[in-house]
Every structure is written in structure tokens, then in C-alpha cells.
């Protein structure tokens, strides 16, 4: 697989910001669906979302799939480029809800800090680790992005993953998935990328 094409497709699905195809970039804001696979029939992925709804997503021609693999806080090193979903803390920092460690090929993907919808008031911050420090309440990291910095504490129970390979065969009924979709004028949903938990790990984003 061409590495630049992989970086583009995966970045779009994970972050809903950078590396989107022209057609998606010109469409309405993406919708993030989280849930489990009901079925995959040709180019139609039916999934049950976390709010209990059942949605059918049309997979675009040439659609891509990625997986996630379990990582640990010990895998986070200074200089790594990561994506962290966190919620604000009283001290002005953040408490991590999930962490994605990006491979070198995806460095810079969606760099910045933006609202996210994993939980109320959550934010996605993509940046470079400056100084991971282990403390009593977990590890605190300083993320640098676009000339700014943000301190985030990663509690011990926080899901931490990295990128893994996957195939359409991993989209079995019950498999956990994360899909960024576009809604057309007729209400239909479409996507060009699926992230699946193919290693016993649900996509935490």
C-alpha cells in the first residue's frame, strides 16, 4: 500500500480534519459513528451505534480499513506524535480519555486542539510529546502543537492504542468500529474509511 495514501485515509477517519479527499472536504461536516458491526453486504456496512440506532453506511469505491492494537503508557516517548482525547481539569490541564500513538508516517496529522464528541466537553489534541513524567496519578505529558502547549494527565486505566493493519474480513458481526461519515442531501451516509477493533481492542476514539 502507498504510504502517503494510507496516511491520508487514516488521518481523515481518525481525526475528521486533515487529508480528506476533495469530495469529502467540500461536503458537510463529518459525523462520527461508534458502535459494532451488524453486517457487511457488498459496499454497505450496517452498524449498531452506541446510542442504539442501526445505520447503513455506503462505503465509497476504494474504501480503506485500519485496525488498532493495544499499547501502554510505557510506549509513549518524548518526540512521539499522538492524538489525545481529554476533558478539562480544574487546574487548566486535561485528563485523558484515550490516546492514539501515531506511526512516524502520520506525524503532523490533524495537528491542533479541537472539540470532540467522545464525551461531553471532550477535546482532541494532536501534538508532539515533550516530556512524559510519571506521577502518583498516572503520567502527565506536555503536548506541543502549532506553537502552543497543553498538559494532559493519562490515568492508568486510559485506553492507549496504536495503528494496526486490518482487512474487510475483520468486519464481522459484533466487531467494534469507528466510522467518520458524510450525510448526503437525501439522508444517506457514506464513508471511505473504517477503523475496526481487530485485535480484541475497541477503537477508543
Phi (first) and psi of residue 119, to 5 degrees: -140, 165
Same domain for 74 and 51, yes or no, is: no
State the Cα–Cα distance between residues 202 and 129, nearest whole angstrom: 24
185 part of a folded domain: yes
Q: Is the pLDDT of residue 27 over 70?
A: no
At residue 30 the predicted structure's pLDDT band, cuts being 50, 70 and 90, is confident
Same domain for 155 and 171, yes or no, is: no
- 181-192 pLDDT, tens digit per residue, is 999 999 999 999
pLDDT the model gives residue 23: 29
130 part of a folded domain: yes
Full domain range(s) for residue 92? 69-161
Q: Is 21 helix (H, G, I), strand (E, B) or coil?
A: coil
Q: Is the pLDDT of residue 87 over 80?
A: yes
Torsion sign (Cα): 102, 107, 109, 112: positive
pLDDT the model gives residue 19: 28
55 part of a folded domain: yes
pLDDT the model gives residue 135: 60
Same domain for 81 and 146, yes or no, is: yes
Buried b (16+ CB within 10 A) or exposed e, 105-135: ebeebbbebeebebeeebbbbbbbbeebeee
Same domain for 184 and 124, yes or no, is: no
Number of domains in the chain: 2
Same domain for 75 and 146, yes or no, is: yes
205 part of a folded domain: no
153 part of a folded domain: yes
95 part of a folded domain: yes
Amino acid at each position: 500500500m502507498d504510504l502517503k495514501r494510507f496516511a491520508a485515509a487514516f488521518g481523515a477517519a481518525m481525526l475528521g480534519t486533515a487529508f480528506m479527499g476533495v469530495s469529502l472536504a467540500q461536503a458537510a461536516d463529518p459525523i462520527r459513528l461508534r458502535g459494532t458491526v451488524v453486517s457487511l453486504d457488498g459496499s454497505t456496512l450496517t452498524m449498531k451505534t452506541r446510542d442504539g440506532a442501526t445505520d447503513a453506511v455506503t462505503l465509497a469505491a476504494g474504501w480503506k480499513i485500519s485496525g488498532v492494537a493495544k499499547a501502554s503508557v510505557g510506549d509513549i516517548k518524548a518526540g512521539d506524535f499522538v492524538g489525545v482525547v481529554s476533558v478539562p481539569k480544574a487546574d487548566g490541564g486535561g485528563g485523558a480519555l484515550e490516546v492514539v500513538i501515531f506511526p512516524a508516517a502520520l506525524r503532523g496529522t490533524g495537528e491542533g486542539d479541537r472539540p470532540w464528541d467522545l464525551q461531553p466537553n471532550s477535546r482532541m489534541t494532536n501534538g508532539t510529546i515533550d516530556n512524559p513524567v510519571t506521577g502518583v496519578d498516572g503520567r502527565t505529558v506536555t503536548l506541543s502543537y502549532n506553537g502552543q502547549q497543553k498538559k494532559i494527565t493519562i490515568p492508568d486505566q486510559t485506553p492507549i492504542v496504536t495503528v494496526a493493519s486490518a482487512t474487510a474480513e475483520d468486519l464481522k458481526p459484533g466487531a467494534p468500529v469507528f466510522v467518520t461519515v458524510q450525510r448526503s442531501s437525501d439522508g444517506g451516509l457514506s464513508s471511505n474509511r473504517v477503523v475496526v477493533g481487530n485485535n480484541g481492542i475497541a477503537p477508543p476514539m
